[in-house]
Every structure is written in structure tokens, then in C-alpha cells.
Structure 1
Amino acid sequence: MSSDFETYEQEFGTLTAEITSRIGKIPKLGGDEKKNMVVNVEKQLEEARELLEQMDLEVREIPVQSRGMHSTRLKSYKQELEKLEKDFKRSRIAYSDEVRDELLGDDGNSSASQRAHLLDNAEKLERSSRRLEAGYQIAVETEQVGQEILENLHHDREKIQRSRDRLRETDANLGKSSRILTGMLRSVSLKGLPCSYVKNSTKERMQAVFDTRIIQNRILMFILGIIILFTVVLAIYFSVRGL
């Protein structure tokens, strides 16, 4: 990618050098010769714009970590082209001293009103050119801002996509953990049933033993009561008999 960018750089440098040379010649020309030169420069400026577009595409394909240097160079080339376009617009309405004298008629054949009219038209063209330059500059700046916004949106989209992937992975891990915990709880519940059963059986046995002992105690008390009663009866009997 960088080799293609450097190739476009060389072509751009050669082309801008030719454009600069021709722009310097335009004010010295007149008539059809000047028109032909203007047409040629316009074509070369269009070629320069296409080269910048190609370089812009190459920069976008370069990895982000090494894109900064190429972006800076591309920005300087755009500024250079803007300056050439401004110089070209000025050269189209500029005239050398010889051409100006010819147009204004310094040989005395042209009237003062014609000279004033030509100068007024030249000033109007200059003002229109400045307005066009200002509008073009605003359009270029707007395009640059839009490009930066698109790049930022692209980076944000990549971050959001990575976040979504991490969330999906986390959700999958949580699902696995939930299934494992559910299995563990079921296992603990199943293992807990025999323990409960043993505890209940032990309680029942202890209750039975306790009830048996109560019954035995009651029987013993009953027998003891009978013995005491029998002893009392015998004592009364022998007492009466002794009388």
C-alpha cells in the first residue's frame, strides 16, 4: 500500500511543478494562446485532484498505527493544491504590462471610459474569484470534517462490536455456570433425602423407647401400689386378730 502511495506522490510532485510553471506564464499571454494555456492547466488540476483521491484511498487502507504520517503528508498536498488553484484563478484575470497596455490601448486609440470599464470588469472578476475561493475553502473544510467524523464512527462501531462479542461470551459463561449450579443443587437435594429419613427413623425409635419406659414405670408403680395395699391389709388383719 505504501509503495502505491509513494508512486502517487511522485506523480503529484511532477504534475504540480508543471502546473506552477504554466500558471506563471498565463498573465503574459493573450487571446487564444492564453485560452489554450488555461484549458491545459484546468486539465492538469483535475488530474492532481484525482491523484489526491487515490492517495486518500491508499491512506485509508494503511493500518491505524502507521496511518498518521501518511495522513499528514496527504494534508500538505491538499494545501499545496489549494494554493495552486488560488494562483490559477488570479492568473486568469491578471495581465502583464504589455498585455495590459494592449488591452487598454496605450497607443491613444482607446478612450478613458473604455479603460475604466475594463478595469471595473477586472475588479469584479477579482471579487468573484475571492468569493469562489472562500466557498471552495468552506467546502474542502466541510469534507475534511465529514471524513474525520466517518473515521471516528468507524472506530466507534468496531469498539461496540467488540463489546457485543464480550457480552455474548459473558452471557454464555453465565449460562454454563447456571447449569452447573443447578446440577449441584439437585445432587445435594438427592443426597439429603436419606439423611432426613435416618433422622426421622432415629426420632421414632427414641420415641418408642421413651414410651416403653413410661409404660414400664407405670406397671412398676401399679405393682408397688398393690404391694403397699396388701401390706396395709395384712397389718390391719393381724391387728384385729390380736385383739
Structure 2
Amino acid sequence: MSSEKFESLDDDFTSILDSLRERIERKIPNYTGEERKTAVRHAERNMEEANIILQEMEEEAKVAPMSYRTQMLSQLRNYRRDIDQLSRALKRGTASGFGGSESYGFERNDRVEASQRARLMEGTQILNRTTDSIARSHQISAETDQIGVETIDELGRQREVLERTRDRLVDTDTNLSRSRKILKTMAMRVMTNKMILIVVILIELAILGIVIWWKFFK
């Protein structure tokens, strides 16, 4: 089987079923009086436990993979048939074994125990539903935690990207500042060279003027 819980429940059910067969088919027919009533009550409690286990097994079978579900449900039908047969045998044994006021007292106790069993089975079903709901809540919580962790990781990666981008921008700004300084220096050198060139040209023009004046007017 695919479910460990189903296999464990199957072992428990088989053990109870063997105990029921032993009690109903061999012990109760040979008991009398109070001993017989006690054995019947024990058998009924075993029957109740068997039905509760069958319900839990059915819940496991419903969520099992399809490849296993058919086999599980077939096995459960056989178990239900065995329980029904033993239940009928138990009723026949109790009907033939008691009479008069003893039978009335036993039937009254049987009704009380049947009511208690019904309440117990209802409580068990509610507990199973609550357990399933809690399990689903745990699963949703785990998935939410996983999403939160992944979101935090993604934000961490984005922060690293932004920090690297900021560092690159700082480096770029530093490089731009250096470039501006270099350009300013180059501009100043160009202006200086222009001034020197103008002065040289003016000096040459002055010398040329003096030479012309000296040559033609002196």
C-alpha cells in the first residue's frame, strides 16, 4: 500500500477482527449469566473500535493515489462484510442467550451503550475533520513561510544589485569630476598658449614696423 498509516490501521483492524471472531464464535456461546453479558459488551466495544478504524482507513483511501485506491476500497468492502457478519452473529447470540428481565435490562444497557458509541463516533469524525483542517492550515502556513523566505531572498538580491549600481554611479561621478578637472586644465593651457601666441605676434609686428620705419623713413 502507499500509505503507512493505512497499513498500520489495517494491522490494528485485523487484530481486532481476530479477537472478535474468537469472542463471538467460541467464547460467548460457552458463557452464561454475567460472564456472557461481559463478553458481549467487550465484543460490542471491539465492534465499535473496528468501525472507527474502518472510517479512518476510508479517509486514507480517499486521498490515496488512484493506482492504490481501488485495492484499498476493495479491501475495505471485504472488511465491512466481515464486520456485518460478526455483528449479525453477535445479535443472534445475545438474542438466544438472554430472556425475561435479564433481556430487558441488557437491551436497555445496549441502547445506552449504542447512544454512547454514536456520540463517540461523531466525536471521532469531528476530531478527524479538525485534524485535517489543522493539517491544511499547517501546510498553508508552511507555504506562506516559504514564499516569505523567497521574497526576502529576492529583496536581498535586489538590494545587492542596487548597491552595486550605486557604487558604479559613485565611480562614474568620480571619473566625471576628474575629467572635468582635466578639461579645465587643458582649457587653461589652450588659453595660455593663445595669449603667448598673441604676444609673440604683437612683438613680431612691432619689430616689423620698426624695421620698415627704419628702412624707409630713416
User: Which range moved further: 33-42 or 172-181?
Assistant: 33-42
Q: Does the alignment pair 1:22 with 2:6?
A: no
Q: Give the equivalent residue in structure 2 for 1:128.
A: 112
Change (3 A) 1:134 1:146: same
- Partners of 2:119 and 2:44 lie apart in 1 by 18
Provide the aligned C-alpha RMSD in A: 5.2
Return the TM-score normalized by structure 2.
0.54
Runs ≥4 in structure 1, deviation > 6 angstroms? 1-5, 45-49, 64-68, 202-206
The 3 A distance-change label for structure 1 pair 189 and 142 is same
Q: Give the distance between the partners of 2:37 and 2:11, measured in 1 at CA.
A: 28
Corresponding residue SS for 2:95? coil
Residue 216 of structure 2 aligns with which residue? none
Q: Is contact 2:3-2:64 (8 Å) kept?
A: no
Q: Return the letter of the residue paired with 2:169.
A: L
Find the counterpart in structure 1 of residue 210 from structure 2: none
The gaps in structure 1 that reach 5 residues or longer are: 105-114, 214-243
Aligned residue identity for 1:30: T
AA at the equivalent of 1:163: I
Q: TM-score, normalised by structure 1?
A: 0.50
| Aligned: 1:187 with 2:171 | yes
After TM superposition, the structure 1 = structure 2 runs for residues 51-200 of structure 1, keeping only pairs within 5 Å, are 69=68, 73=72, 76=76, 87=87, 91=91, 94-96=94-96, 99-100=97-98, 103-104=99-100, 119=104, 121=105, 124-198=108-182, 200=184
| CA positional deviation for 1:170 | 0.9
How many residues were matched structurally?
Answer: 181
Contact 1:93 1:126 in 2 (8 A): no
1:240 corresponding residue in structure 2: none
CA offset digits 1:52-105 (Å, max 9, x no partner): 6xx99xx8xxxx9869958x959x59x95xx68x949x8599421xx44xx33x
Aligned to 2:204: none
Q: Which amino acid aligns with 1:31?
A: G
Unaligned runs of 5+ in 2: 199-218
Question: Alignment identity in percent?
Answer: 15
Structure-2 separation of matches of 1:31 and 1:65: 46
**3-state SS of paired residue (1:95):** helix
* Distance in structure 1 (CA, Å) of the matches to 2:172 and 2:115: 84
Give distance in 2, aligned partners of 1:118 and 1:174. Answer: 81
